[in-house]
């Protein structure tokens, strides 16, 4: 009998076991109850174990805990549906505590009518090892990606923090592949316009040669030299190229600075501050530690009716303040202590005696021995008129006054209200002058003796001593 005739050829019984052991890594003859009746292992398989001792024992004794329910379920399904095809099952065998187990994929085959079945197993350790290698490769790849993202973030932070212009240029094509904000400011363009453009579109060498050739030759010399170039806007820059290789392509790192070597802020802050000082609507005055004016803008000159800035320079700012040295000491001491003082209300006296209500914001610019204070002085006359015209008694104040009616006379209500306001004004003056009683008395228009009387009246002397 041959295969071509449609019939299975007759096989000698003693050869069957050899055939089975060759086509499977592990062959088990199992009873309907799951007991191992016979074991055959492929001599060429990597499974080197004494499987003969499994005979006569339940197969579940050789399985890992998680594989026992799967085997029982698949065996029951095979025995219940005779002739049905049962999907292969992957089972993990346990060898011993010293030796690791191994996974095997079993297929079920009926071999007779006595309820026994043949389980042909394929060793899955090569597959498991390949899966582990793939997982390890994936983890290594993820780590490389994380490292790359970390380096990219560091590069972005470094390029954004430096005030020196930085360009990355392809040494082969001259295309700008990356740049920072300072370089964009130097070139007088936007980032979207610069990216992908040829560097010669924005920068031209002074000697007339092709810019890319000049940069490559200069960078190849490796002496750190720089050349003077000019932008389309006519700005002269110092350009220092450095050549390197990345992903098989030569790149140029071009560092830009102005011809004097000074850096340029990407937001042109210096120009903006100078423009605000010269054209600002609020008076801006810079004074030293003694209160002498170092510089003043036109808005301050208009408030004080001073003809020229030279006439104000060198004079004490206290000459223009309503309370003179008291106001100066208050703003100076508070700014020195906290770094700034906001909205200090006083009067500004002009050259011709005209008084203007103002609000002063003071900032300490330098904490060194030669301190410099910046005073921003705003005309508050309109705001004061608005506050006076819109001043109304709030609902809380009205309720507090109403609660006093009936319990006290009108004279007592007015006196108590006056005491509250008087105490609040004295506390504010003492706090603004840093507990300088002389300055506080002058600020309130009181004599020093009267101030002490009122401090005792409101128990403020004891409070200051405790502090």
CA angle 404, 410, 416 (to 5 degrees): 60
CB contact burial 39-73 (16+ within 10 A = b; e otherwise): bbbbeebebebebeebeeebbbebbeeebbeebee
In this prediction the pTM is 0.39
pLDDT given for residue 341 in this prediction: 83
Per residue in 415-448, pLDDT tens?
Answer: 767 777 888 888 877 777 767 787 778 778 888 8
Our CA angle for 378, 382, 384, nearest 5°, is 90
How far from the centroid of its chain's Cα atoms is residue 214's Cα?
Answer: 39
C-alpha closest to that of 102 among 7, 187, 199, 25: 25
CA-CA distances (angstroms) from residue 176 to 237, 263, 268?
A: 17, 21, 23
Across 51-210, the runs of DSSP E, i.e. the strands, are 89-93, 102-110, 117-123, 165-170, 176-179, 203-205
Tell me the backbone φ, ψ of residue 368, rounded to 5 degrees. Answer: -70, 175
By the 8 A CB rule, do 350 and 356 touch?
yes
How many whole angstroms separate alpha carbon 306 and alpha carbon 286? 16
Three-class SS state of 61: helix
The H or E element spanning position 314 is none
Look up residue 438 and give its two tokens.
């002389």
Return d(Cα 244, Cα 253) in angstroms, integer.
Answer: 8
pLDDT at residue number 345: 84
Residue 199, burial from CB neighbour count under 10 angstroms (0-12, 13-18, 19+): buried
- Cα(328)–Cα(331) distance, integer angstroms: 6
pLDDT in tens, the chain (467 residues): 455 555 666 666 667 777 777 778 888 888 888 898 888 888 777 766 777 788 888 988 888 888 999 988 888 888 887 656 778 888 988 876 556 678 889 988 888 767 788 889 888 888 888 888 899 999 999 999 898 888 888 888 888 888 788 999 998 888 999 998 888 888 888 888 889 888 888 887 666 678 888 888 888 887 778 888 888 777 888 888 999 888 788 999 998 887 754 444 445 677 788 888 888 889 999 999 889 999 999 999 999 888 888 888 889 998 999 888 888 888 888 888 888 888 888 889 988 888 889 999 999 987 666 788 999 999 887 665 555 444 444 455 555 656 666 666 777 777 767 777 888 888 877 777 767 787 778 778 888 888 888 888 878 776 554 54
**Euclidean distance between the first and the last CA atom of the chain, given in angstroms as a whole number:** 116
Per-residue model confidence (pLDDT) at position 266: 46
Q: What is the DSSP string of 86-115?
A: ---EEEEE---SSS--EEEEEEEEE--SSS
pLDDT value, residue 263: 46
């Amino acid at each position: 009998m041959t295969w071509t005739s449609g019939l299975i050829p007759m096989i000698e019984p003693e050869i069957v076991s050899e055939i089975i052991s060759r086509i499977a890594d592990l062959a088990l003859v199992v009873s309907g109850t799951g007991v191992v009746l016979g074991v055959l292992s492929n001599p060429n398989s990597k499974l080197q174990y004494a499987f003969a001792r499994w005979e006569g024992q339940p197969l579940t004794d050789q399985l890992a805990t998680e594989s026992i329910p799967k085997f029982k379920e698949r065996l029951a399904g095979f025995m219940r549906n005779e002739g049905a095809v049962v999907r292969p099952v992957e089972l993990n065998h346990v060898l011993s505590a010293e030796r690791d187990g191994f996974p095997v994929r079993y297929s079920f085959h009926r071999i007779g009518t006595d309820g026994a079945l043949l389980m042909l197993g394929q060793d899955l350790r090569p597959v498991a090892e390949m899966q582990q290698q793939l997982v390890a490769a994936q983890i290594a790849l993820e780590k490389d990606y994380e490292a790359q993202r970390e380096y990219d973030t560091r590069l972005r932070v470094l390029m954004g923090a430096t005030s020196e212009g930085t360009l990355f240029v392809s040494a082969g094509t001259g295309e700008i592949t990356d740049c920072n904000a300072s370089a964009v400011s130097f070139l007088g363009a936007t980032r979207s316009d610069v990216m992908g453009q040829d560097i010669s579109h924005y920068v031209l060498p002074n000697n007339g040669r092709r810019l890319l050739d000049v940069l490559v030759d200069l960078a190849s010399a490796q002496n750190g030299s720089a050349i003077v170039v000019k932008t389309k806007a006519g700005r002269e820059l110092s350009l220092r190229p450095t050549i390197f290789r990345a992903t098989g392509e030569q790149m140029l790192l071009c560092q830009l600075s102005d011809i004097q070597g000074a850096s340029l802020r990407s937001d042109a802050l210096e120009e903006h501050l100078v423009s605000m000082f010269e054209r600002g609507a609020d008076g801006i005055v810079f004074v030293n530690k003694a209160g002498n004016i170092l510089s003043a803008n036109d808005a301050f000159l208009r408030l004080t009716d001073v003809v020229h800035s030279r006439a104000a320079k060198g004079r004490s700012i206290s000459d223009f303040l309503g309370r003179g040295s008291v106001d100066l000491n208050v703003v100076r001491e508070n700014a020195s202590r906290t770094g700034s003082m906001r909205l200090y209300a006083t009067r500004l006296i002009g050259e011709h005696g005209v008084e203007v209500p103002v609000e002063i914001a003071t900032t300490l610019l330098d904490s060194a021995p030669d301190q410099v204070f910046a005073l921003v002085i705003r005309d508050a006359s309109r705001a004061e008129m608005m506050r006076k015209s819109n001043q109304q008694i709030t609902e809380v104040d009205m309720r507090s006054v109403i609660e006093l009616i009936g319990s006290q006379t009108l004279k007592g209500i007015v006196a108590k209200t006056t005491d509250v306001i008087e105490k609040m004004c004295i506390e504010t003056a003492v706090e603004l002058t840093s507990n300088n009683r002389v300055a506080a008395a002058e600020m309130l228009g009181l004599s020093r003796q009267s101030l002490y009387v009122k401090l005792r009246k409101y128990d403020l002397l004891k409070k200051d001593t405790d502090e």
